[in-house]
A = this chain, B = another copy of it.
Amino acid sequence: MQAGVAHGALSGLVGYNLRRSDVYMREQFLRTLADWDIRPSQYSVMTLIASNSAVTQSGIAEALSIQRPNLVGIVLRLEKRGLIRRVVSESDRRSQVLSLTPRGARLLEELNGVIAAMDRRITACWTDAERDQLVSLLQRLWLQKP
């Protein structure tokens, strides 16, 4: 499987192949998005803000399974870069309501194109049908939460 070194029982494990694939995709993401200085978590957060009006930090954290304390740094960074706005909720003054700034919205549009193209380019070793089925199988896996 690798030059000279046999992988034994690892080759057949879903967990091992998921891990290697995830690492590989993240490397490509970081390299491709280096010019934009955007991390996977930052893109995920911006996408969820764009897709959900009046979403709060708690909502984002739960949807992405990020611990609330760890989200603070991410949103503060995005706010400091002028990509998102945080305003105290009218209905619940404990909550911060998140939204994209015009600049953040423009950047996200650009990122959507770049990232979708990258995701397809790296997975060009698959047919469209194989890609669709893989995404479908993975969702069936991680969306089960027993």
Residues on A lying within 8 angstroms of B by beta carbon are 1-26, 29, 40, 44, 47-48, 50-52, 55, 59-60, 62-63, 65, 112, 115-116, 119, 122-123, 125-126, 130-131, 133-135, 137-144
CA distance A51 to B16 in the complex (A): 16
Chain B: which residue is nearest A112 at the CB level? Answer: B9
CA distance A146 to B32 in the complex (A): 14
Is there contact, CB below 8 Å, between B15 and A18? no
Is there contact, CB below 8 Å, between B138 and A18? yes
Is there contact, CB below 8 Å, between B17 and A26? no
Is there contact, CB below 8 Å, between B25 and A14? yes
Could you say how many copies of this chain the assembly holds? Answer: 2
Is there contact, CB below 8 Å, between A26 and B19? yes
Residues of B near A4 (CB, < 8 A) are 59
Is there contact, CB below 8 Å, between B144 and A6? no
Ordered by A's residue number, 11 sampled pairs between the chains whose C-beta atoms are within 8 Å are A3-B63, A9-B116, A10-B47, A11-B135, A14-B25, A15-B122, A19-B25, A21-B22, A125-B141, A130-B133, A130-B137
Is there contact, CB below 8 Å, between A2 and B112? no
Given contacts A6-B52, A24-B142, A123-B141, contact A15 B1 (CB under 8 A): no
Residues of B near A25 (CB, < 8 A) are 14-15, 18-19, 141
How far apart are A14's CB and chain B's nearest CB, in angstroms? 5
